[in-house]
Structure 1
Amino acid sequence: MTSSLTVTDHETTLDFTYEDALRYHGPQAPGGVAHAYKVLERALGVFGGEGSVERRDLVVATSHAGPGVRDAFELVTRAVTEGRYTVDSSLARRERGNTLALYVFRVDYRGAIVTLTIREGFVVEEFSTLARKGDRTAEDESRLTVLKQEMADRVMSSPAESVYDVEVDTLPD
């Protein structure tokens, strides 16, 4: 597990920790923050050495519309503000079932494109079912809060390589 995500911004090195991303997002979706953090950790490792990736050249598309995911990507890449972040439902892998289908991320860096998909065991069915439930009770909300934190802890305590598989779609020459 990396202690921070290191990118550059016009030749300035920037480091972002998971705690930075949580502070930026707030307490609502720690699991989503953790997922985006691990996706970036994995993708940055494919695209170059620590600190060699220019944050403003990263383009992100995902089928996951969660606010924690969005905010973590925004903090590190500025992709939301600059129009390089897209929620695209066609990326979902429906054949993986409701629990895993939306955890698909396509990251493009200067023409190199990778697709990351969640491995089994990091998102539990109870979380997925409860998160989709429209009329949650106070008890449901309390349970969902616990499940979000448990998922965040599971994701963050694991190396990115064990959380997300990477499919290399295109690498530059």
Structure 2
Amino acid sequence: MSAHLNLIDNEMSVDFTVDDILKYHGPGFPGGVAHAVKVLERALPALSPDGPAERREISVSTAHRGPGVRDTFEVVTRAVTEGRFTVDSSLERTDRGATLERYVFVLTYRGTSVRLEIRDGFVADEFIELGRKADRTEAEDARLTVLKQEMADRLLAAPADEVYDIVG
């Protein structure tokens, strides 16, 4: 499934694909890119039901600290350089465990906000454990690279409404 995000930038239609985002981000964190894409696919229709949103009016707060997530929001919304992107650890859902706690996003557009939380089954415990491990071996780094791509593939193959719930 190829994601396609359509927004408006000063009255001009702007389209983004995962490939476009990866050209900016690079190959390092494809899972983070896929997460942010799914968040945008899920949130944008709720935030702007009558058509594409103005990309420079979207604000993002998240508990997720990853560069793939950050770079995706930067490419698509310019929120990082324009000061509308915040990493907020108070959004963490520690009651959901280490695997899911940081996959929380709040997007705001023209006075409307939606909160999204990931569903169970898309992030592997092994991925979180290896990702947070200090001093990984070469074999562990190689395994983490595989896990990142597997997660990205799993996310991109699923409809956004099966990956992220709008909870508020």
- Normalising by structure 2, what TM-score? 0.97
Which digits, 9 at most, give the CA deviation of each residue in 1:23-66, with x for residues without a partner? Answer: 11001000000000000111111122485200011000000010
In structure 2, C-alpha distance between the alignment counterparts of 1:89 and 1:77, rounded to whole Å: 21
Going from structure 1 to structure 2, the CA distance change for 1:154 and 1:50 (only over 3 Å counts) comes to farther
In structure 1, C-alpha distance between the alignment counterparts of 2:79 and 2:8, rounded to whole Å: 14
Question: After the TM superposition, which residues 8-27 of structure 1 pair with which residues of structure 2 at under 5 Å, given as runs?
Answer: 8-27=8-27
Aligned to 1:31: 31
1:56 and 2:56 aligned: yes
Aligned to 2:148: 148
Aligned to 1:95: 95
Aligned to 1:171: none
**Does the 8 Å CA contact 1:13/1:51 hold for their aligned counterparts?**
no
Which digits, 9 at most, give the CA deviation of each residue in 1:114-158, with x for residues without a partner? Answer: 000000000000000000001100000000000000000000000
Runs of 4+ in 1 over 4 A off after TM superposition: none
The structural deviation recorded for 1:22 is 1.1
Which digits, 9 at most, give the CA deviation of each residue in 1:47-91, with x for residues without a partner? Answer: 224852000110000000100000000000000000000000000
- Normalising by structure 1, what TM-score? 0.94
Going from structure 1 to structure 2, the CA distance change for 1:2 and 1:108 (only over 3 Å counts) comes to farther
Q: Secondary structure of the equivalent of 2:136?
A: coil
What residue identity is the alignment partner of 2:45?
G
Q: Secondary structure of the equivalent of 1:70?
A: helix
The structural deviation recorded for 1:2 is 6.2
Aligned to 1:106: 106
**Does the 8 Å CA contact 1:118/1:163 hold for their aligned counterparts?**
yes
Q: Secondary structure of the equivalent of 2:52?
A: coil
